[in-house]
Each structure stands twice: as structure tokens, then as C-alpha cells.
Amino acid sequence: MVLRLALAAAALLALGVPRGGGARALEWYTAWVSTAYTEPGSNRTLRSSAESGRYGDSSPKESAQGLVGIPRGAGPRHMEGCAQDLDYEVPLPAATRQPPDGELPPWIALVARGGCTFKDKVTNAARKRAAAVVIYNEARFGNSTVSMSHLGTGNTVVIMVGYPKGMEILEPVRRGIPVKMSIGVGTRHVQEYISGQSVVFVAIAFITMMIISLAWLIFYYIQRFLYTGSQFGNQGHRKETKKAISQLQLHTVKCGDKGLDVDAENCAVCIENYKPKDIVRILPCKHIFHRTCIDPCLLDHRTCPMCKLDVIKALGFWGEPEDALEVAIPESLSGSVSVGSLSIALQEDDRNETSDLSASSTNESVLQCNSLKDDAGETTALLEMDGNSSSRHEEHPSNGNSH
């Protein structure tokens, strides 16, 4: 579950990143900054090249080159280049003559960060026809650079360098030494952060997903609790049902059983003929089935498969005595019954206490009792198949007469 939530959050995070202007920048480029100047005393040329700059967001990613110029003035506020009428000082090589009309060769403005917006700095330098603008960061930020927003500055190339790099370029220019600078496109970087709107979207989606998951877990455990409770109730009912089924009469089939054609009759559940030594169970409705067949059926459904009699209620379980279904033994079966030449005495047991049909019995119960009378001749012999028991019932009258 936790893994699924993590994967879903990652997918939402990926989808939540805006493809347009939702974030400040989707990508940024570094800039190669190369400088070269000659020391007046030693005539030694010092060169430096490093990927130390960063292009502005609205700057064209193009190369630029020219002499470095700085705002004219001694104060630190002048280096910020925020004044609209500001002039720039561009040291020229000794062999280069000053143009008569005052037009300078291609040059690059070097200004400090702060005091005004990036757009104002670039606009003021572009007004003086600077080919590019290099903004060096404040001293507290060291070598770090930031993304600069300066919409509306046209095709002016704008980059930012760290404070040490800015001081390295500014120092010879202040001494009046001409410094040649070249700016080249560096490495492309994918934006490493997303906008606040995307963060809010992902957070809301994640919280919503967590709430849905929590609701699902609560629903699942409630259903499981209810199912467990019903299982306990069913187990209690099954115990009562097993107890009731165990009180039903059992009989072992024999070859000489009267009223039961072993070769012709079969169990209505498994549709197999009865065989000698098969153990059958006799229901209150006098229907006979294999014990192994009828016991599972009664445990699940409680009713006779043939007449739909509720066997459990017929035995007096799960109901008030007046609500229990009473099963009557037909009068034609009471006392002594003659089937062919066989006289069988029916024993009275505890289950024959419910021998009379109540006046409130339903039409279905009456029909069941009528079917009992029709089948009595076929099933009576199975109630008392024990030969010894039968013989004892016939011997008692004779013994009385002998005395």
C-alpha cells in the first residue's frame, strides 16, 4: 500500500510540473567567460576562461564579445548602473583611435547587482549601445549566480557572474587597462525546482489520495468485522444443527429388510441404490437417505430434499413449542401394522410426543402428512428392522398366556 501511494505521488508530481509559465524557468544555460588584457609594466598578456557565467531568462543564448566598460563615477552606487543618464567608461587600446563622432567599438557593460531591477540595468546599458551586459553578484553570495528576469530588453545578451569573477574583471578596467571579453554558450541545465502552484496541486492530490485510502481501509475492516461476527453466529447455529441431526434415527441396510427393495430403490441425493451395510438416516417425514448424503444437506439447508420439511423445527429446536412443526404418525400405523404376512409393532419413543397435528398447521404441513400416509407401507419396515426387537415384542404376549 505504501509503495502504491509513493508511486502515485511521484506520477502526480511529474504531471504537476507545468510545461508553460508556471515555473520561473524550465531550463537555464551557463556561459563561458573569457578575458584577456596586457599589463602595462611587463607587457604580459593575462588570459582567463571559465564557465562561470549564467544567462538571464530573457536573454538570447548567443555569443558576444567586445571591450569591457563600467559606469562612470567613483561611488559604489554608480557601479549599479541604475541612473538613466549614466555614462560608461570604456578603456581603449593605445593603437585604437577614438572615433570622431563618439561611437565606440563593440563593448560589454559590467555593472553590480542591486539598486534597481535587472531590466533597468540592461535598458540603461543598451541605450548606450552595449552589445552585452555582465552583472556581477553581491559579495555575500560569493561565486553563486541566480536566474534573472528582464523581459523587454530585446536582443541584448545578459549574463551573471559571481562576485570574485566580477572583481577580477573590474580591477584592471578601473586602472584604465583595456580588457577584451568573449561570452559563449555553455551547458544546458534542466530546472531543478517547480513552482508553488505545482507544489500545492501535488499536495492536494496526495492528501486526497490518502483520505480515499483511509476511507477504503475503514470500510474494509468494518466489512471484515461484520463477516467475522456472522461467522461466529453461523458456527453456533451449525453446532445446534449438528446436535439435532444426531438425534435422527439411523439404520443399517440388510438384504432381508421388508418394505425396501435394495435393488430398485435409491437415495434421492446421490441417486445410488441402497446396498447391504449402508447406513441410512430416517427423517421425521419417513424419507430415507444415506447418512453421508443427507447430513451435509441438513447442516446447510435443514430441510428434507424431497418434501422440504424443516427437520430442525420438527425436532423442536430453534423455536417455541407452539411454533415447532409437529409430525403426526398416521392412525393406520399406530399399534400393530400388517405388511404382507409380517406384523410389526411400532415402538413409542420420545419423538412421538408430537403425534397430533395442531389446528394452526399450514396447508403444506397437511399435504406432507398425507404423503406420509401414502409412503407408510414402504417405509414402516425400516423403522424397526432389528429382528431381535421384533421377536421380543411378539414373545411377550405368549409368555403372559403361559402363566
The pLDDT confidence band at residue 181, using thresholds 50, 70 and 90, is very high
CATH code at 237-393: 3.30.40.10
Which residue, among 141, 142, 135, has the nearest Cα to 117 in the 3D structure? 135
Residue 222 C-alpha from the chain's centroid: 18
10 or 170, which is more confident: 170
Contact 174, 101 (CB under 8 A): no
Within the chain, all domains assigned CATH 3.50.30.30 are found at 24-192
How many Å apart are CA 104 and CA 330, to the nearest integer? Answer: 133
Lowest mean pLDDT segment, chosen from 89-98, 108-117, 278-287: 89-98
Longest Cα–Cα distance of the chain, Å, equals 168
Q: What is the DSSP letter of 330?
A: P
**Most confident listed range (122-126, 247-251, 309-313, 348-352):** 122-126
CATH assignment of 24-192?
A: 3.50.30.30
The grid cell for 371 is: 404423503
pTM recorded for the entire structure = 0.47
User: What single letter denotes the amino acid at residue 62?
Assistant: E
Burial 365-390 (b: 16+ CB within 10 A, else e): beebbebbeebbeebbbbbbbeeeeb
Cβ-based neighbours of 106, under 8 Å, separated by 6 or more: 65, 66, 67, 131
Which residues, 6+ apart, have CB-to-CB distance to 73 below 8 Å? Answer: 79, 86
- For the cut 70, the answer to whether the pLDDT of residue 387 exceeds it is no
Sequence ranges of the chain with CATH classification 3.30.40.10: 237-393
DSSP notation for 368-402? HHHHHHHHHHHHHHHHT--HHHHHHHHHHHHHHHH
